[in-house]
Structure 1
């Protein structure tokens, strides 16, 4: 006899001593693989994805600032290690090449006859300038490589992935030359602007007399302010070009056009973030380096007050300065590169809904799905040319 209080379609409870059979989706044996109510019956449950570097939503100001430094802590071997290698190579090569050429030039000037001293000095100065070409070229390439490495790290860390140093370097190397060319163009444009302004000022001061002196000073001051404002505007509007080159695999022209478009409407916010990070990094660097420099100067005076071991003291001071300067420069470069990558992600989340694409990618990847790289989507649909 059935219970009259049971609904007509309710399962019949087992009698005493009988084993219950899970005939309803709400009845399942412990630790079974049966799906939960409301889930897809043909798909097994999978754990939620691990949290990434930032929440998958438009990034707040405080979150962005914190994430710029959190990049170092989340994957220190790949990020700080890359920065340390790059900065060490740049500084050591610069010190070795420029130091040897400078030592040779000074020795040559000291041993030159009086009637040939002017020519020797001019040749030594030229040799010193030429010796700086190699470190500058190496610095451009190494800085571009580090920037590409950090862009890739930030992009993959946002998806909850943690790549090794070798993997990051291999991925970054595929976009090294376009990024190096962009760094060269940006630095060259600034150098041309400074050279033109300096040339005008020198010309006015040298040929204009008192009036030319006043005009040269005024043009130098106001021209310098105008050049600084133009540089800040250009750098802000093209700030996400490195991320576009690396992540979306665009060419230089397409990257500049797209960066100009992404920063439209967010110019002052982008400029404020970049300036604030730069100020924070510089202040921290000075806080670390200035006391050490003062202590080294005082220590040298106390140990060798007569200057009898001037050459040895200079070598020791140089080595200590490098030991301190290289890690500080590595941290600064990583943080500033990470900030640029985070600004790119924030702009795309706000203007293109990238956060939804990233969330869809993370969910599909966690379930074993084969999904395309979400950062490449605009390249396919937007008509931008890749290199």
Structure 2
């Protein structure tokens, strides 16, 4: 076939012996080797192959989360990723704090209880009531000390985890010393806020219990009925207030630590961020709490059952000394497992509000754009860019990013 012959299909002749027609000649609007005369993208024009059409570009993910408003799955996965991404200042510190709090509380309460029981048993009948009252007061004070110790430890851990979430969002991986330096000057405010919440809870419980006991003292049926109703109504109201105020104030620790705001500004900041997103915030926090509690129960409950069966199998004769030793070993193992599980769960529950805080700032303030600009400038070597987390209310001059 010569170059001048018309185009033919591989089968040069059809069934009736005639040759196929040549294809129509290209129009002047789209000749071979030339661009179409009509602008690209106009309906009816052929596509220009070899050029990529513009498409959606996913948001950058420099570290813990993508720089865009977060969905439920992202918040759940990021809460777990905090542990895996930087385990030393998160899980390591949590394990240390929970161990100190648990051991300190058990030792103190155990010593006070043992001393009170020993003094009560060795006292005479005339002094027994006085010594028993003193032992009870000492036990209550030791319990308050244990609560205060856990409050301080929990506040420190919550602050460190909040800062880890904030720095991890922009791709920074700080050691414990760097996170502690970033938390300087704010731990006291966070402990004060936690103490304020604890005092409010204690006052609420004391008021409900006091009114109920006062009604019970009347002794008649009406007093008992009103006392029970007061107790039930008080706990229902307390639960409602805890859910309502707890949700609106859920971002106070993040505002205190990340933005370094004063306490009153941090309270107003949390309220403004949650307003309009109350049910979403409450639902996510409740869901994470339920998941964490179910997982911890699934891990610890079989341990108690298996441990009890194991003690019985290892001591079939019922030897008293062997039973005491088995009980002590089981108790220690249960405490160790509980401390490890608590160290994991408290990090997850502390990370969730910090992630929601950043998510709300992205949704309401376009904070994802500020974070993206910060990451881009830092990757370009511009270390003078201010920290995007700090506001004008938190510092006279915007601080430089943590190193």
Q: TM-score, normalised by structure 2?
A: 0.80
Distance 1:227 1:154 in 2: 31
Matched residue pairs, number?
336
Counterpart selection for 1:203 from 190, 211, 214: 214
Matched, 1:376 2:387: no
Q: 1:66 to 1:378 in 2, by over 3 A?
A: farther
1:58-106 Cα offsets, whole Å, 9 max, x none, are 1111111111111111111221111111111110111111111111112
Q: 1:110 to 1:312 in 2, by over 3 A?
A: farther
- In the alignment, what sits opposite 2:106? 95
Distance 2:392 2:337 in 1: 43
Matched, 1:263 2:277: no
Matched, 1:234 2:248: no
Between 1:282-291 and 1:123-132, the stretch displaced more is: 123-132
- In the alignment, what sits opposite 1:339? 352
Counterpart selection for 1:145 from 145, 148, 156: 156
Larger Rg: 2
Q: 1:49 to 1:65 in 2, by over 3 A?
A: closer
- In the alignment, what sits opposite 1:278? 289
Which structure 1 segments of 5+ residues have no match? 1-47, 383-387
When the two chains are superposed, the root-mean-square deviation of aligned CA atoms in Å is: 2.0
Counterpart secondary structure, 2:390: helix
Q: 1:233 to 1:179 in 2, by over 3 A?
A: same
Distance 2:115 2:186 in 1: 38
1:289-318 Cα offsets, whole Å, 9 max, x none, are 001111122222333434334543443233
1:307-345 Cα offsets, whole Å, 9 max, x none, are 334543443233212210111001111000000100100
- In the alignment, what sits opposite 1:128? 139
Distance 1:69 1:367 in 2: 30
Which structure 2 segments of 5+ residues have no match? 1-58, 397-403
Q: TM-score, normalised by structure 1?
A: 0.83
- In the alignment, what sits opposite 1:249? 260
Q: How far has the Cα of 1:380 moved from its partner? A: 6.2
Q: 1:331 to 1:211 in 2, by over 3 A?
A: same
Q: How far has the Cα of 1:378 moved from its partner? A: 5.3
Contact 1:49 1:366 in 2 (8 A): no
Asked which structure has the greater RCO (Cα within 8 Å, sep 6+), the reply is 1
- In the alignment, what sits opposite 2:234? 223
- In the alignment, what sits opposite 2:9? none
